[in-house]
């Protein structure tokens, strides 16, 4: 039967933020000084994350994504991934990363059972990359992608948050990359998660992104795969890879939403932008399967229908992207 919310949506996908820490400070995700760090003990232990994952899978979750902050900065992440991948009934364990540490971790992650990697990469120009990430080194990410390929991962998905005046001049460069590379490059509309003034000027609507690429390359729409995320995908005629558009702002995909989240602080959230959450820590402390299951079910029943970003409403703003994991 699985998990059905009050809008009739089947919930099959859990995103786990395993840490709020990160080795970058991307401008669209964190303020320059970072966000106040959770203390040790405020983050769920791997044991607790596993308990939540097992209960969620037994209730009907089929896909788990490990995210962060930067998930690979948490110690013993590979071992944890192996334990999640081994949960009976789980169909897919996947991971979203900034790619900085993949040269060391890609092969062990693959052996641990991670099925696919999504990698954030917002510029192909070293200086712009360093500007956006406040100091990141582009070559390390490119080496990380090469390591993922060498480790036998299926072609990666590249996440590009498009910001007008910052990296939107690179739309065609990213699109051209998919002609030879089998990667899926996904352009994401910039969301105002930092409650910043003037965000609309930076946000490039998905239809404009498609128009600008379409003026140079003929784009053929692709059919969505099972368990696909929020992207609409296209292929340049004859290309090895694909282009995806994620339009949380201009064309929300909430009516097809299939996901719930657990933040780095151990709070389950029905929506990326919902104010309320369910603190899992007391439920885990009570050591009662039923209580945890009932909690997860009630979260899904109360899952909001959609966000209201178009009105500038970013929820209560209590959860930074780096704690909720995107």
Ligand X SMILES: Nc1nc2c(ncn2[C@@H]2O[C@H](COP(=O)(O)OP(=O)(O)OP(=O)(O)O)[C@@H](O)[C@H]2O)c(=O)[nH]1
Ligand Y SMILES: C[S@@+](CC[C@H](N)C(=O)[O-])C[C@H]1O[C@@H](n2cnc3c(N)ncnc32)[C@H](O)[C@@H]1O
Among 17, 53, 98, 159, binds ligand X (CB under 6 A): 159
- Residues 169, 102: Cα–Cα separation, whole Å: 27
Return all residues near 263 (Cβ < 8 A) that are at least 6 apart: 17, 269, 277, 319, 323, 324, 325
From residue 161 to residue 200, the character string flagging contacts with ligand X as x (rule: CB under 6 A) and all else as - is ---------------------------x------------
Question: 155, 22 in Cβ contact below 8 A?
Answer: no
The one of ligand X, ligand SF4, ligand Y, none whose footprint includes residue 190, by CB under 5 to 8 A per kind, is ligand Y
13 makes contact with ligand Y (CB under 6 A): no
From residue 30 to residue 69, the character string flagging contacts with ligand Y as x (rule: CB under 6 A) and all else as - is -------------------------------------xx-
96 makes contact with ligand X (CB under 6 A): yes
Q: Where are the beta strands (DSSP E) in 88-241?
A: 92-97, 116-120, 157-162, 184-189, 219-221, 232-236
Among 21, 25, 74, 157, binds ligand X (CB under 6 A): 157
Tell whether residue 260 is among the known ligand binding residues.
yes
29 makes contact with ligand Y (CB under 6 A): yes
Nearest to 150 by CA among 187, 113, 103, 112: 103
Candidates 4-12, 166-174, 185-193, 269-277; binding stretch for ligand Y (CB under 6 A): 185-193
Q: What's the start-to-end Cα distance of the chain, in Å?
A: 28
120 makes contact with ligand Y (CB under 6 A): yes
Segment 234 to 263, residues that bind ligand SF4, using CB under 6 A? 252-254, 257
Nearest to 53 by CA among 91, 27, 20: 91
- Quote helix, strand, coil % in the chain, to nearest 5: 35, 20, 45
DSSP secondary structure string for all residues of 166-205: TTGGGHHHHHHHHHHS-PEEEEEEPP-TT--TTHHHHB--
Binding residues: 15, 22, 26, 28-29, 65, 69, 96, 120, 157, 191, 254, 257, 259-261, 271
Binding residues for [4Fe-4S] cluster: 22, 26, 29, 254, 257, 271
| Residue numbers at the binding site for ligand X (CB under 6 A) | 65, 67, 96, 118, 157, 159, 188, 228-231, 246, 248, 257, 259, 272, 326
């Amino acid at each position: 039967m699985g998990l059905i919310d009050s809008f009739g949506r089947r919930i099959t996908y859990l995103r786990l933020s395993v840490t709020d820490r990160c080795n970058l400070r991307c401008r669209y995700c964190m303020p320059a000084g970072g966000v106040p760090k959770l203390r040790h003990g405020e983050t769920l232990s791997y044991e607790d994350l596993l308990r939540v994952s097992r209960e969620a899978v037994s209730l009907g979750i089929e896909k788990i994504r490990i995210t962060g902050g930067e998930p690979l900065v948490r110690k013993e992440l590979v071992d944890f991934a192996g334990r999640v991948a081994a949960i009976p009934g789980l169909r897919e364990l996947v991971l979203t990363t900034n790619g900085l540490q993949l040269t060391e971790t890609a092969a062990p992650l693959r052996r641990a059972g991670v099925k696919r990697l999504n990698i954030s990469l917002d510029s192909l120009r070293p200086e712009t990359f360093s500007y956006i990430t406040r100091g990141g080194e582009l070559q390390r990410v490119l080496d990380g992608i090469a390591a993922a390929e060498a480790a036998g991962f299926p072609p990666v998905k590249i996440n590009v948050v498009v910001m007008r005046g910052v990296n939107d001049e690179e739309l065609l460069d990213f699109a051209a990359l998919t002609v030879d590379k089998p990667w899926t490059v996904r352009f994401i509309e910039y969301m105002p998660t930092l409650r910043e003034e003037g965000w609309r000027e930076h946000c490039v609507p998905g239809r404009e992104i498609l128009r600008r690429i379409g003026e140079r390359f003929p784009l053929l729409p692709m059919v969505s795969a099972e368990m696909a995320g929020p992207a609409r995908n296209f292929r340049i005629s004859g290309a090895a890879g694909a282009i995806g558009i994620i339009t949380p702002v201009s064309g929300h995909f909430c009516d097809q939403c299939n996901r719930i989240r657990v933040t780095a602080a151990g709070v389950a959230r029905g929506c990326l932008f919902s104010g309320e959450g369910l603190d899992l820590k007391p439920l885990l402390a009570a050591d009662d399967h039923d209580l945890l299951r009932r909690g997860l079910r009630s979260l899904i029943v109360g899952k909001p229908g959609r966000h209201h970003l178009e009105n500038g409403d970013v929820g209560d703003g209590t959860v930074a992207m780096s704690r909720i994991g995107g």
